[in-house]
A and B are shown apart, each in its own frame.
Chain A
Amino acid sequence: MFRLIRLEWIKTFSKLRTYIGFIAICVVLPLIFIGLKLDKGRFLTSTASYTILEQNFYIMGNLLNGFFVAQLVMYFLMVHIPFFIALVAGDQIAGEATAGTLRMILIRPPSRLKILVAKAAISLIYTIMLVLCLAVLSLGLGIIIFGTGDLLVREEGLLILSKKQAICRFLIAYPLAMLGMSVVAALALLLSVLVENAIGPIIGTMAIVVISVIISEMPISLFERIRPFLFTSYSKVWQKAFLDPMPLNDIILSVIYLLIYMVLFFGAAFFIFNRRDILS
């Protein structure tokens, strides 16, 4: 199995499109941070909640710190990460079908199940690496540029987490974000198995994610009934890692739902791929 994963690694990481996500993060993050630095904290101090905070409390230390900007970046960029994941995971089968290489590998001894497991593994590895890149760069660069301090959280009111608490919350939030994004990878792989053109799974994944996010976020009563069945209702579970007290039961439940979605998407992909006639 490891040799198959190694082969998929070689193929995936020899393609330029694999690096688009990393390049985007590496370009956007310094831009945001430079912008925030030049802005001299106006981004934070101009908000209504900060004004209220300032009126009621005596603020000491550095609130616009590395933790704050890393969390800010997480809120902004997590919406766009699915696109990069779809770009790679959605290409795994459909891309090979389009290029004609799928038939070249499927006439070799390894079973379709093994090949798909290797492709699923590489999609997950890529997802983890992308979120890890975001984590390392946003925290690392954020701390270098803005230093450390307490973390101001604007979720369900205002919350201030100590430096130690902030580090702990990030250590929980990033793996949860990886899990949420892994479901997107599983969905992209499922769509990749269904079609024989490389663009379809990317557009399909993004369309499903966007529609699901709209339904998950908009406060419309009709949507409330659908919401529990959408994976996007659980994929933002990482945000709960910054609440105090941390809603552990909610987090565990969301993790279970996300795992169920992942198993369902991968399972459906395996089932369909195993039965499909390869005509490309």
Chain B
Amino acid sequence: MNNDIVLYTEHLTKRFKTVTAVEDLNLSVRRGDIFGFLGPNGSGKSTTIRMVLGLIKPTTGEIRLFNRSLKNNREDLLRKIGALVEKPSFYNYLSARRNLEILATLTHRHPDHLDIDRVLDIVALLNRADDKVKTYSQGMKQRLGVAQALLGNPELIILDEPTAGLDPEGIKEIRHLIIQLAQQGLTVFLSSHILHEVEQMCRTMAIIDKGRLVVQGGVKHLLNSESDIFSVKVDRPEEAADLLKTREWVESAKVLSGTITVKIKEQQIPVMTELLVQSGFHIFAIQPRRSLEDYFLSKLKADYV
């Protein structure tokens, strides 16, 4: 296997009694990448992350980290990983520094106080390090969650919904921090249901739905590989959509909220414009829609357009 792959899952499956949370999942994350793990709520993202971190035992399949099996090398491998699983939780009755000392001692024999100061500095909490965590705001707890994931200079950090529950300012700070970490050479595995977040930060991504992998690849590559989607605003949109559907160069056309969403190749735009004008429709706007959101929805709901 390629040494550049830091995380690899093969046929990973988890069943809870009659419910299959994750099914036959094959993922591979390259060293130095910001990998977006995208899926709607309940799609199996957190279950996958928990399996990768040894919190949940897979029903079948294998997890390899840094080219070694997690099953047989758990202790060594977890030393190289920092993670924030869902909502960050701490011993609220202890200070942030004490919390980090406990977690650092679990990872390494003795807590490195310089390392604790370093990670607190990264998340801008050094001046509040000796305050009890119960006095922290949600945003500060989230930043402390990222700080604990950075303890001991891990090679891979896994962040599960790191911006959940944050205000816009907090979200901006965390995103900026993640990009900074990746620039320092860390591999970041970012789980999110916020499409915009993944589109902004990630180089590669995987989309998961109902526990199954929908697609995996480079964000730019995946977005460009598809036919383009355009929003067309016209009078009498239903009639216009029906007309467009009769043309073979139109892959699909559907009216959503008074606007036609058309899936066609970009070079067909003048032909479509001409057809609509000649048929007596008034065109108010034609806008390209090639965001990850459209891609995501088109992958999850085949009948979207």
Residues of A within 8 A of B (CB): 3-4, 7, 10-11, 14-16, 99-101, 103-111, 275, 277-279
**CB within 8 Å of A: which B175-203 residues:** none
CB pair B89 A101 closer than 8 Å = yes
Q: List 20 A-B residue pairs with CB atoms under 8 Å apart, sorted by A's residue number.
A: A3-B109, A3-B110, A7-B105, A14-B94, A14-B98, A99-B91, A100-B89, A103-B50, A103-B55, A104-B88, A104-B89, A105-B102, A105-B103, A108-B103, A110-B75, A111-B75, A277-B16, A277-B57, A278-B50, A278-B55
Across-interface contacts of B81 in A (CB, < 8 A): 107
Across-interface contacts of B87 in A (CB, < 8 A): 100
Across-interface contacts of B83 in A (CB, < 8 A): 107
Tally chain B residues at the interface, Cβ within 8 Å: 33
Q: How far is the CB of B60 from chain A (nearest CB, A)?
A: 15
- Who on chain A is nearest to B104 by CB? A108
CB pair B54 A107 closer than 8 Å = yes
CB pair A109 B50 closer than 8 Å = no
Q: Tell me the complex Cα distance, A106–B81, Å.
A: 12
Given contacts A3-B109, A100-B87, A111-B75, contact A106 B93 (CB under 8 A): no
Q: How far is the CB of B101 from chain A (nearest CB, A)?
A: 9
Q: Tell me the complex Cα distance, A104–B87, Å.
A: 10
Give B82-115 as 1s and 0s: 1 = Cβ < 8 Å from A's Cβ atoms.
0101111111111000100011011101100000
Across-interface contacts of A106 in B (CB, < 8 A): 54-55
Given pairs A3-B109, A108-B103, 14 additional interface contacts (CB within 8 A): A3-B105, A10-B102, A11-B94, A14-B91, A14-B93, A14-B98, A99-B91, A101-B91, A104-B103, A105-B106, A107-B85, A110-B75, A279-B50, A279-B56
- Who on chain B is nearest to A277 by CB? B56
Residues of B within 8 A of A (CB): 16, 50, 53-57, 74-76, 78-79, 81, 83, 85-94, 98, 102-103, 105-107, 109-110, 148
CB pair A109 B57 closer than 8 Å = no
CB pair A104 B75 closer than 8 Å = no
Q: Tell me the complex Cα distance, A278–B16, Å.
A: 12
Across-interface contacts of B56 in A (CB, < 8 A): 277-279
Q: Tell me the complex Cα distance, A278–B92, Å.
A: 21
Across-interface contacts of A103 in B (CB, < 8 A): 50, 55, 85-86, 89
Across-interface contacts of A11 in B (CB, < 8 A): 91, 94, 102
Q: From A14, A16, A101, A275, give the contact of B57 (CB < 8 A).
A: A275
Q: Tell me the complex Cα distance, A279–B47, Å.
A: 8
Q: How far is the CB of B212 from chain A (nearest CB, A)?
A: 20
CB pair A107 B78 closer than 8 Å = yes
Given contacts A103-B85, A111-B75, contact A15 B102 (CB under 8 A): no
CB pair B90 A107 closer than 8 Å = no
Across-interface contacts of B50 in A (CB, < 8 A): 103, 277-279
CB pair A108 B57 closer than 8 Å = no
Q: Tell me the complex Cα distance, A218–B56, Å.
A: 45
Q: How far is the CB of A104 from chain B (nearest CB, A)?
A: 6
Complex A-B, nearest 8 residue pairs according to Cβ-Cβ distance, in ascending order = A100-B89, A108-B106, A278-B55, A277-B56, A107-B53, A109-B75, A109-B78, A101-B89
- Who on chain B is nearest to A6 by CB? B105
